[in-house]
Amino acid sequence: RIKGLDSTGEDLLKASKQWVAALVMVEKAIKWKQNCCHRQLGRTTRDSRTEEQIDFC
């Protein structure tokens, strides 16, 4: 095993996981805003996970 290679792989894995996490956060924020608007328009949201947060709008 080459240690340098392993650590590079781990770094890439960590970086990609951080990217995925960031993208998920952005996606959630967009959905949250959209669901906010829907709730204000008197519609119910399809995503039950964001439903609790919408009340803070």
Chain segment 5-56, per-residue pLDDT in tens = 677 888 889 999 999 999 999 998 888 777 765 555 544 545 555 555 444 4
Q: Which residue has the tokens 């650590």?
A: 7
16-27 pLDDT, tens digit each:
999 999 999 999
Indicate yes or no: pTM above 0.85. no
Give 53: exposed, middle or buried? Use CB within 10 Å, 0-12, 13-18, 19+: middle
Residue 2: band (very low, low, confident or very high) from pLDDT cuts 50, 70, 90: low
57: pLDDT strictly greater than 50: no
CA distances in angstroms from 43 to 17, 33, 52, listed in the order given = 34, 13, 15
**Residue 41 and residue 50: Cα distance in Å, rounded?**
16
Q: Are 32 and 49 in contact (CB under 8 A)?
A: no
- Domain segments of the chain: what residues? 24-57
What is the pLDDT, as a whole number, of residue 56? Answer: 46
